Structure 1
Amino acid sequence: MIGRIIGALVGREMDRRDGSGGAKGAALGWIAGSAMRRMGPLGLALGGAYVAKKALDRRRGRTRG
């Protein structure tokens, strides 16, 4: 369950970077989520760290801008 949520968040972040929306982000999130689940706890930690870093960077950009 947590792996699917993190996979969705990773897909959303990758899609935001690309700029287009829709199925590409969903597909990337599904691929990233399944790859993270296969890696086990390490994959979940890496995916969660990626999402947390992107959120922190976005938050810092808002406060400085």
Structure 2
Amino acid sequence: MIGDAIAAFVGHKIDASDGEGGAVGAVAGVAAWKAAKTVIPAVLFFGAIAWGIQYLANHGDDA
């Protein structure tokens, strides 16, 4: 909840920097925050799996 508020505030400030409204930026900030909370852990998880597979492929004979 606090993360949504911070994302809305930051999005509003970025969008309002041109002197016009900032409501669209607030909505975009919250949407980006919600997407990032889902996407970033998934990317880290699948990246770790890919790194592990590559590591084992290259160093599997050494063990």
TM-score by length of 1: 0.40
More helix by share: 1
Which structure has more relative contact order (CA 8 Å, sep 6+)? It is 1
Larger Rg, first or second structure (1 or 2): 2
TM-score by length of 2: 0.41
